[in-house]
Structure 1
């Protein structure tokens, strides 16, 4: 019988087999799936963020799998329980994500190297009440302030107000001119009265984090002067709002400002993208005016979204690599410019191309930052503090509740279930 090993074809097969043996098996990429409620950002993740990560991590493939915002919490919970959820979990701030961690669905991130890139206040939204365990990486915040129509300010020879008295002087001049609504906001949906009203101007009165933490430990009450004064200023907005503002919804207010019919819009930085698309005039932003004579300014730089790791992920190391990359200056720069109005929470000084977004984020250098005072711990009971704030803030602006009554209603509601306020 002839020696088959001498046959050219056989020798070729043997060479291929030997080469494969020496080079080892071809390894498949780790594939990560991201769960998120930000379905409007899908193109940004797919076209900008993920390609940048995969360029520096060619051994990891990432897919973005969003769920509509209204369905996210329940759908994510169901997938986590069924073991079918993605590897990376977009985290809402505070209690919703805390419950996922307590239920064992999120990985403890205390030892994640990238966590060192974030200040303590940014971490608060995704850690246990005692601050000992971190379960999501801070990702982005939104900042409160006021957006204004630059053409109207130029036409009426107005300057950007820095103090409370200057703010109301500007509003008076706009009202006196009579062509434009001085302040564009409605109270029909209620939440904007609290979010763009109370939580916007209030930190200057309760001294940001100092006051927020005092509410949690019970050493401050909503009947105290800082909260009554906040409502007192809010009550002064009524004469400058559009006639019929009580029936004006959030989208209606956005449209009125976009059409150039109003001069100043109490805002969250997330409104920047809407006005970039809808408004055909140049607009700017100014920070919440400080009470007269106060030197230090405070802004609400509210933690909005984080990212955690599914504790059942089949690729935990790859998921950690992604989070560590999210803690980098590269990600911060990409995200801030791709989604103007949502600001990275890391310590890097990021240059943002959108001029209004850059104006908002520049206030971090000038003012002390805090987060909305109803979000941590204080909205767990009944009545829910966040929902109560919506209601009383709207009523104060409408003139159906006095500032003193608003503070008393909030304090009474909180004391019904929260022990530190029962002293």
Structure 2
């Protein structure tokens, strides 16, 4: 089921998510390739965000396996731990001029335009399905995916299946059903929902499915944010989902969400402090729960809209929001480091690496040899994830900003929403100041 589904949705699918807000550590003293005296191997750095435990284990297992089999290269993980915004940490790397060879990208378009990324060699892209990557305006490919392009299936609600069964609760089929579900849980004396805002990025987990119907309505216009930049829509059009976000936070969310880290929601769910939790990890979050408590029966669903549609964003393979792995232009200036970067990426998109990823609970990238990959369907709740890909009411939409300062605006918007949810500002004030910031950022982008 899953293999055929992946092929069918490739033309419209996209990558993840993403992920995390992080602090800068681990940069080596030299940005160039390093040689060990004994082995004469080239050492390259792989910088990545560590917001998701499953992704962390994927990097560890793939890098370890690669290093064991390579005669020419040693990959040195260069993680940026949680605590500050990863995009900000990348700016610090840029300012120091100490770029690693392989980079887990954010603000992709900004760095392409600044000449900080090197084209991905065709020996790498030839391993991927054609729709798994895209070319920039100059015709070059600068990023390749770090996971399957299944859109924001990971922006979902994880829930306690045993609790649902004991209280005769059902997965909601419409948005009104979702609100009614939370009211029933609250009437039982339990907390319906845990969410996180200890870092700003998890605030998207509840917001995006609420705003998705409006975003989806602009899919054919180049996406809501491009339409907003062109002034054919505005932040005022987001009033209804902003009011819904405030209502849910005020009435159904576990207290302390402002300082809760994303990974903590796993513990809150397993310990029974909430019946449901927001997530952007998808299958990875189910795997995290299984590691914490193998007996916990978890499931997941996506908040539907009023018509029962499940709106899922297609993560762009181009544009400023595009993620994925890239080779820095600094590394490309050194022939040994460039060769080692290509070697590692070719391994990353091998069947061997894909099997390691799947075993860790990750959905491996869309490689051409996907039929040879062993899928992991042993994680409790995994059937819910795969069923979403088959759901007849799954609606894919696009919303990929092409203005280069979107990342700064998006951080401001996230912070503003958190302040609104926390009662520090009204919906009216939030709309006004966010519109002003959008206008300023679009003007700055030229």
Q: Please report the TM-score for the alignment, with normalisation by the length of structure 1.
A: 0.71
Could you tell me which of 279, 300, 307 is aligned with 1:285?
Answer: 300
State the shift of 1:89 in Å: 0.9
Q: Does 1:327 align with 2:341?
A: no
1:196-345 alignment runs, 5 A limit: 196-207=205-216, 209-210=219-220, 213-217=223-227, 218=230, 220-223=232-235, 225=237, 227-242=238-253, 244-245=255-256, 247-250=258-261, 253-269=265-281, 271-279=285-293, 281-289=296-304, 291-293=305-307, 295=309, 297-299=311-313, 304-308=323-327, 310-315=331-336, 316-338=338-360, 340=361, 344=365
| SS at structure 1 position matched to 2:75 | strand
Hey, what does 1:157 align to over in structure 2?
A: 168
1:111-164 deviation per Cα after TM superposition (whole angstroms, max 9, x unaligned): 4552572565x646xx65x47332222213772111001121111111111311
Decide whether the 8 Å contact of 2:46 with 2:103 is kept in 1: yes
Counterparts of 2:233 and 2:102, CA distance in 1: 36
- Partners of 1:197 and 1:234 within 8 A in 2: yes
- Going from structure 1 to structure 2, the CA distance change for 1:372 and 1:184 (only over 3 Å counts) comes to farther
CA distance in 1, matches of 2:367, 2:232: 30
Q: Larger Rg: 1 or 2? A: 1
Using the TM superposition, give the Cα deviation of residue 286 of structure 1 relative to its aligned residue in structure 2, in angstroms: 0.7
* Separation (CA, whole Å) in 1 of partners of 2:424 and 2:435: 18
Report what 1:410 is aligned to: 434
Alignment match, 2:146: 139
Determine the C-alpha separation between the residues in 2 that align with 1:247 and 1:30.
46
Contact in 1 for aligned 2:194/2:278 (Cα 8 Å):
yes
Deviations 1:307-328 (A, max 9, x none): 4252123333453243234334
Q: Is the 8 A contact 1:211 1:220 kept in 2?
A: no
User: In the alignment, is the contact (CA less than 8 A) between 2:225 and 2:401 conserved in 1?
Assistant: no
Residue of structure 2 aligned with 1:35, choices 43, 46, 51: 46
Alpha-carbon distance in structure 2 between the residues aligned to 1:372 and 1:263 = 31
Runs of at least 5 residues in structure 1 that lack an aligned partner in the other structure: 1-27
Q: For residues 213-258 of structure 1, what are the alpha-carbon distances to aligned partners after superposition, in whole Å with 9 as ceiling and x for unaligned? A: 3422525433353x22322321331354356446552366444223
2:199 is equivalent to residue 184 of structure 1: no
1:90 aligns with 2:103: yes
How many residues are paired up? 375
- After TM superposition, the score normalised by the length of structure 2 is 0.68
In structure 2, the partner of 1:377 is 404
2:13 alignment partner in structure 1: none
Distance change (3 Å), C-alpha of 1:77 and 1:398 = closer
Check 1:91–1:343 CA distance in 2 against 1; reply closer, same or farther (3 A cut). Answer: same
Question: Structure 1 residues 420 and 98 mapped into 2: Cα distance closer, same or farther (>3 Å)?
Answer: closer
- Determine helix, strand or coil for the equivalent of 1:297: strand
Equivalent pair of 1:94/1:376 in contact (CA under 8 Å): no
- Classify 1:273/1:377 alpha carbon distance in 2 versus 1 (closer, same or farther; 3 Å): farther
Runs of 5+ unmatched residues, structure 2: 1-38, 317-321
Shift of 1:343: 5.3
Where does residue 410 of structure 2 map in the other structure? 386
Aligned in 2, Cα 1:404/1:369: closer, same or farther, shift over 3 Å? farther
